[in-house]
């Protein structure tokens, strides 16, 4: 799973197509979408137009919790829209209400067994909910996609995911960040990069998957230009301490 992917929430139509094309041109190989983003068709088209071979791409989509009970039909619709025969990762977008937590998870596992999703996981789940799925089926989600950013940093929560073998995938890295924060600005200046690039590099150095969204070609490129520098342990610690989470 590539550590940096393109987020695509709130991008539809030609704007979405152009953003995905730009991303693929500068080297992204991981695209994050969801049934509710209503852009799977555009993403499929951008991928085809790009000429990037399908087996070099990592495509994630997500099941809306309201589709509990209609999981397979919903995945079939996603695959038809994407014009793909499988996704690389299929997530439950949020925990379904009521008793569907486990039955939905069983449906995802069945789709994985049938080769329609290479990996399956969840999003916005608490660790107790991850454990409920594992206890019921013996299989833990491979990924939990949750909000993550320096202000949300929680070392214990990261460790809880690691201990369970669940990959932590962060979302909304910028929406939850003040890019004018003096710590980020100072560290960025020291590396000749932007505070946004420092935020993305902080994810990478913690081995947390990050999926920044941008519709702007320059930002799409800058957000992927984060592999030529690394943060020192001291810098990582300073950024970790921007967390406002208290346990």
Ligand X SMILES: NC(=O)c1ccc[n+]([C@@H]2O[C@H](COP(=O)([O-])OP(=O)(O)OC[C@H]3O[C@@H](n4cnc5c(N)ncnc54)[C@H](OP(=O)(O)O)[C@@H]3O)[C@@H](O)[C@H]2O)c1
Give the active site residues: 37
With CB under 6 A as the contact rule, the residue among 35, 61, 74, 123 that binds ligand X is 123
Nearer to ligand X, 124 or 134 (CB): 124
| Nearest CA-CA partner of 112 in 146, 129, 132, 137 | 137
Q: Cα-Cα-Cα-Cα dihedral of 23, 3, 95, 164, to 10°?
A: 170
Closer by beta carbon to ligand X, 97 or else 114: 97
Contact segment (CB under 6 A) with ligand X among 155-163, 211-219, 228-236, 238-246 equals 211-219
Among 2, 9, 103, 139, binds ligand X (CB under 6 A): 9
Query: By CB under 6 A, is residue 172 in contact with ligand X?
Result: yes
**Which residue, 138, 140, 133, 135, is CA-closest to 164?**
140
Backbone dihedral angles phi then psi of residue 78, each to the nearest 5 degrees: -60, -45
Among 174, 198, 208, 226, binds ligand X (CB under 6 A): 174
How far apart (Å, rounded) are the C-alpha atoms in residues 101 and 207? Answer: 28
x/- contact string, 42-61, with ligand X (CB under 6 A)? --------------------
Q: How far apart are CA 131 and CA 137, in angstroms?
A: 10
Within positions 85 to 104, which residues make up the interface with ligand X, using CB under 6 A? 93
Q: Residue 245 CB, nearest distance to ligand X (Å)? A: 17
213 binds ligand X (CB under 6 A): yes
Contact 211, 29 (CB under 8 A): no
d(CA 49, CA 67): 30
Closest to 179 (Cα-Cα) out of 162, 163, 193: 193
Using the rule CB under 6 A, which residue among 16, 89, 196, 231 binds ligand X? Answer: 196
223 binds ligand X (CB under 6 A): yes
Residues of the shown chain interacting with ligand X in the complex, contacts defined by CB under 6 A: 7-9, 32, 93, 123-124, 145, 171-175, 179, 196, 211-216, 219, 222-223
């Amino acid at each position: 799973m590539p550590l940096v992917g393109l987020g695509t929430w709130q991008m539809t139509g030609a704007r979405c197509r152009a953003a995905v094309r730009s991303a693929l041109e500068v080297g992204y190989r991981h695209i994050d979408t969801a049934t509710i983003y209503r852009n799977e068709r555009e993403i499929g088209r951008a991928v085809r137009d790009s000429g990037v071979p399908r087996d070099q791409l990592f495509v994630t989509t997500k099941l809306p919790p309201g589709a509990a009970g209609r999981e397979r039909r919903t995945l079939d619709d996603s695959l038809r829209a994407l014009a793909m025969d499988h996704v690389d990762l299929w997530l439950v977008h949020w925990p379904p209400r009521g008793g569907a937590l486990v039955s939905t998870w069983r449906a995802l596992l069945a789709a994985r067994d049938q080769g329609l999703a290479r990996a399956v996981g969840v999003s916005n789940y608490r660790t107790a909910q991850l454990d409920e799925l594992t206890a019921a089926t013996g299989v833990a989600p491979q990924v939990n996609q949750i909000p993550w950013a320096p202000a949300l940093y929680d070392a214990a929560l990261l460790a809880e995911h690691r201990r369970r073998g669940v990959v932590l995938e962060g979302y909304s890295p910028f929406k939850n960040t003040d890019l004018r924060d003096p710590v980020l600005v100072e560290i960025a200046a020291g590396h000749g990069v932007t505070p946004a690039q420092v935020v993305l590099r902080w994810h990478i150095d913690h081995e947390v998957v990050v999926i920044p969204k941008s519709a702007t070609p320059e930002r799409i490129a800058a957000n992927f230009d984060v592999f030529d520098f690394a943060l020192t342990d001291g810098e990582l610690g300073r950024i970790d301490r921007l967390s406002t989470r208290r346990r």
